[in-house]
Every structure is written in C-alpha cells, then in structure tokens.
C-alpha cells in the first residue's frame, strides 16, 4: 500500500471501526441446524444429478445433502472432502451460481436453486469444529515428493500424496501457506482466519513438511528438485501482473489489485489501511470485483470498475457484478485505458471507448482518481520451467509436463479456468497420477 503521507488523497481511517466490522462481516452467514435441514429438504436427490457434472471436483452432491437431511453432517463432510479436501473454502468462494446451482433442477424449474454452497459449508464446518480428520495415512512408501506452491492445487496434491503414504515437502514463497485462499480473495468471503485454520486442519494427515520463504527460481531450482525427489508437482500460480502499457502507469497511486487484496487480507486493523477518495479498478474478473467492492467498504467515496469489453464478457459472474453494483461500485464497460495523468501522483485516468471487437472509437473520457488498481490478469514467472502452452505450463493427462517426473496444476497450468475448485481437482488428479507412476499402479 502507498504511504498516505506522500500520496495526496489517500488516507486511512475513512470509516469508524464499527462500520468496518459490519462491512467486512461474513458475506453469507452460516446456516444453523434448522436452516440446513430446511435447505436440504428442497433437494430432489436426482439420480443423474446435473449438479455433480457441473462440479469440477465431482462431489456427489445429492448424497451429501441426503446425509445432512438425515442428521449426519459429519458423514456429509467426508463425502465432500473425499473429492475436495478444501471443500470448506470452496463452499465460501466457489461461483456456485455458475456451476452446481446454475444447473440445479430447482433453479431450472423455479429460479431458486438448492443452497448447495451453503450446505457444503455447513457440513464441512461441522466436521472441522470437532477437530477430527476423516482420513488416515497409509503405510509409508519411502517415496519423496516436492510440491512447489502451497495454494489450492499444491495443498490438494500434498494431502492426497500424504494420504497414500508418501513423504511430501511443501514449498511456498510467502511467509505462510494458503496461496490465493489466504492472500487473494475478498476478506468478507473468508472471515475469522478460516484459510489458515483449514490449512492447519489439512496438515493433520501427517507426512507433510512445510517450508515457507522458498521460491522457484530464487531459492529453489527445478533441476535440483528433480534430483532430490522422486517426483515434483508445480502449483506455483501466476506471480506476475500484466501492465497497462499506457503513459503514466508508473505514477504514485497506480497499484496491483492483487497486492492491495493481500495487504487487506493480512491486516489486523482495517482502519489503518490507506484508501483513496476516488478509486478506479481496471479489469473484469473476480480480482477486479473484489478490489472494487473492498475499496468501497473501506470508505472510498467513488469507486469505478472499468472493463474493455461488455458486461456479458466479464469473467466475474453476474452475482459478483450485482454485488459490486449493490455496494455502490460504478461499472463502466467497453472502455480501455490510454493514459494516466497527474504530477507525480495519479489525478485522472483517461479511457477510450471501444466497440465489440475492441477497436477504438476515438471517443475518450477521464475519471478522477487518486488510486488506480490494475486487475487485468496475471502472468507466469520463472525460468527453466517445463514447456509452455501460450503463457502457461503445457500439461497432458493429469498434469504431466514436458519434463519426466514433473507435474503441474492450478493457475500456472494451461487448460484450466483459474478457479479455486478447479485447482483443487487438478492437484488431486495429479497426485493420483504420481502415486500410480511411483507404485507401478
């Protein structure tokens, strides 16, 4: 975050502590026992349930909802976690409105789906609150696997490998594990330190050693890892942020949205976070929406989210777009940045309207801005990586790369849709493939 004493217009404490507590409370408060039973009772328990097909981790949704309905939420949790070991976080951050709930028979017939995401949270929270871990570690195999990146893909891979009896060393460049679950999502989606609590719970399987402050290309080399370990899984995410590529981008107050969100997520006192009066967020994905909404919740007076295409092309779901609008975020579409104006610090940002094929129209406008957040996509960072497919690591099958003995999954790997739940599935599937290869299965 910028130093508010050096950047005019950016200041901390725009709202009192009570307002901040309210603004950053749980977006979807958890269901109580009665609410969960009522919600579960709406499920038709379809035999060929479309919700299962729509879930990237293939959770047997009708089964776990039936288990809730019959008063066994711990069993429901095990059904979920068998397929998705990060089912608690996914219940909070998954765009269920475009996945399982979108194809729910109740949604199709009535426009009101079964609350699958909230029921999943109810089940997994119930089990985690007992402190129990539902899986046991197999007998040690003597095999050692390095997992680089302790985000959703890496954590999922590490847990599955450890469960099969392998010894896993989990490396991450940050000071603590969790990846985007810990550093990259809106604070109101995961409150009360849940991301770290879930990691701590996951590690109860045993057999996983976590080493933080270890980054590929800096303290770690792929050559050394492949020499020291029987297999390597890369879940390194996307560490770089795309540049705007316009004049004035280097002015004070022009920042990466991912850094802003990480600072906010790690803050112990939101009243000390500096925020602008006039904030502009550039981008159309979930990161852009998270940055825009949280800017408003911190007390920014005017927040505009500007995207170069139409709303129907935004990666953020309609629910997320509507959430932003409901919080007072102005959404401007079909406009691309052309220049950042100001004397040292940003004062205005200039945009040009585009048509549907992104061709410039010649019509420009300016928005007042003392803070600009870039959320136009991230890039893969690292040298001596496996072969790439475009800007990501090329993979075949369950995450096999061009280097023998090296797998990859999550945001760094080609072919996915950059969702937490997809990363979990890719990490899990790679782990099964690694296990099969190491054991001759």
On whether residue 19 sits in a domain, the answer given is no
Q: Which residue has the tokens 């604070």?
A: 187
Q: Which residues contact 300 (CB under 8 A, 6 or more apart)?
A: 14, 275, 276, 277, 278, 279, 371
On whether residue 278 sits in a domain, the answer given is yes
- Residues 246, 349, single domain; the answer is yes
Task: Write down the H helix ranges in 268-376.
Answer: 286-298, 318-326
Helix axes of 152-163 and 420-439: crossing angle, nearest 10 degrees: 30
- Residues 57, 160, single domain; the answer is no
Phi, psi at 440, each rounded to 5°: 75, 20
- Residues 334, 419, single domain; the answer is no
Rg over alpha carbons for the chain, rounded to the nearest Å, is: 22
Q: Which of 130, 156, 185 is the last residue of a domain?
A: 130
On whether residue 4 sits in a domain, the answer given is no
Note if the pTM is more than 0.85: yes
- Residues 249, 277, single domain; the answer is yes
Closest C-alpha among 377, 131, 347, 344 to residue 245: 377
The rounded distance, in Å, linking the Cα atoms of 423 and 417 is 9
For the chain, residues with pLDDT lower than 70 are 1-8
- Residues 265, 294, single domain; the answer is yes
The rounded distance, in Å, linking the Cα atoms of 87 and 431 is 17
On whether residue 9 sits in a domain, the answer given is no
Q: Which of 359, 377, 395 is the last residue of a domain?
A: 377
Where residue 70 sits, what CATH number does that domain have? 1.10.1060.10
Name the helix (H) or strand (E) containing 155: helix 152-163
- Residues 247, 316, single domain; the answer is yes
- Residues 311, 348, single domain; the answer is yes
Long-range pairs for 132-139: beta carbons < 8 A, 24 or more residues apart: 132/74, 133/201, 133/204, 133/205, 134/74, 134/77, 134/78, 134/81, 135/81, 135/163, 135/205, 136/163, 137/162, 137/163, 137/165, 137/205, 137/206, 137/207, 138/163, 138/164, 138/165, 139/165
- Residues 340, 358, single domain; the answer is yes
On whether residue 189 sits in a domain, the answer given is yes
The rounded distance, in Å, linking the Cα atoms of 298 and 306 is 19
Question: What pLDDT does residue 8 have?
Answer: 67
- Residues 274, 340, single domain; the answer is yes
The rounded distance, in Å, linking the Cα atoms of 409 and 371 is 34
Q: Which residues contact 310 (CB under 8 A, 6 or more apart)?
A: 333, 334, 356
| Total structural domains within the chain | 3
CB atoms within 10 A of CB 47: 6
On whether residue 21 sits in a domain, the answer given is no
- Residues 250, 372, single domain; the answer is yes
Q: Which residues contact 262 (CB under 8 A, 6 or more apart)?
A: 183, 184
Q: Which residues contact 365 (CB under 8 A, 6 or more apart)?
A: 335, 350, 351, 353
Tell me which residue range forms the domain holding 68. 41-130
Question: What pLDDT does residue 194 have?
Answer: 97
- Residues 188, 261, single domain; the answer is no
Question: What pLDDT does residue 4 have?
Answer: 45
In Å, what is the CA distance from 427 to each residue of 86, 138, 219, 285, 412? 11, 19, 23, 23, 12
Where residue 308 sits, what CATH number does that domain have? 3.50.50.60
Query: Is the separation of the CB atoms in 55 and 100 below 8 Å?
Result: yes
The rounded distance, in Å, linking the Cα atoms of 101 and 112 is 9
Q: Which residue has the tokens 């490396």?
A: 171
- Residues 249, 362, single domain; the answer is yes
On whether residue 412 sits in a domain, the answer given is yes
Q: Is 410 helix (H, G, I), strand (E, B) or coil?
A: helix
On whether residue 18 sits in a domain, the answer given is no
Q: Which of 104, 130, 156 is the last residue of a domain?
A: 130
């Amino acid at each position: 975050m910028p130093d508010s004493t050096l950047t005019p217009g950016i200041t901390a404490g725009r709202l009192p502590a009570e307002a901040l507590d309210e603004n950053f409370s749980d977006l979807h408060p958890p269901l109580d026992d009665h609410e969960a039973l009522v919600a579960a009772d709406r499920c038709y328990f379809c035999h060929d349930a479309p919700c299962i097909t729509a879930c990237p981790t293939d959770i047997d949704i009708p089964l776990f909802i039936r288990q809730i309905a019959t008063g066994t939420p711990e069993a429901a949790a095990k059904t979920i976690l068998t397929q998705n070991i990060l089912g608690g976080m996914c219940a909070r951050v998954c765009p269920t409105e475009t996945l399982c709930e979108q194809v729910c028979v109740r949604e199709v017939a009535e426009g009101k789906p079964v609350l699958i995401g909230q029921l999943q949270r109810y089940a997994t929270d119930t089990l985690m609150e007992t402190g129990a871990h539902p899986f046991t570690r197999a007998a040690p195999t003597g095999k050692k696997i390095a997992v680089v990146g302790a985000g959703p893909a890496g954590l999922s891979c590490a847990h599955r490998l450890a469960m099969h009896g392998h010894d896993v060393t989990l490396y991450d460049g940050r000071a603590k594990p969790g990846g985007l679950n810990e550093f990259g999502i809106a604070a109101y989606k995961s409150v009360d330190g849940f991301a770290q609590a879930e990691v701590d719970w996951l590690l109860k399987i045993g057999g996983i050693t976590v080493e933080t402050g270890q980054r590929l290309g800096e303290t770690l080399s792929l050559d050394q890892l492949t020499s020291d370990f029987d297999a390597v899984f890369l879940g390194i995410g996307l560490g770089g942020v795309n540049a705007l590529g316009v004049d004035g981008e280097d002015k004070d107050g022009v920042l990466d949205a991912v850094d802003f969100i990480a600072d906010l997520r790690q803050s112990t006192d939101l009243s000390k976070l500096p925020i602008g009066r006039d904030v502009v967020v550039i981008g159309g994905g979930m990161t852009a929406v998270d940055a825009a909404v949280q800017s408003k919740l911190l007390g920014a007076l005017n927040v505009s989210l500007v995207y170069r295409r139409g709303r129907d092309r935004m990666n953020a779901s309609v629910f997320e777009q509507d959430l932003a609008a409901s919080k007072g975020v102005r959404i401007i579409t079909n406009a691309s940045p052309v220049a950042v104006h100001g004397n040292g610090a940003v004062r205005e940002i200039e945009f040009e309207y585009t048509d549907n094929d992104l061709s410039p129209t010649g019509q420009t406008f300016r928005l007042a801005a003392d803070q600009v957040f870039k959320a136009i996509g991230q890039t893969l960072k690292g040298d001596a990586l496996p072969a790439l497919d475009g800007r990501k690591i090329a993979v075949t099958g369950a995450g096999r790369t061009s280097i023998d003995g090296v797998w990859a999954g999550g945001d760094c790997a080609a072919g996915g849709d950059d969702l937490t739940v997809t990363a979990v599935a890719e990490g899990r599937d790679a782990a099964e493939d690694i296990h099969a290869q190491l054991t001759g299965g």
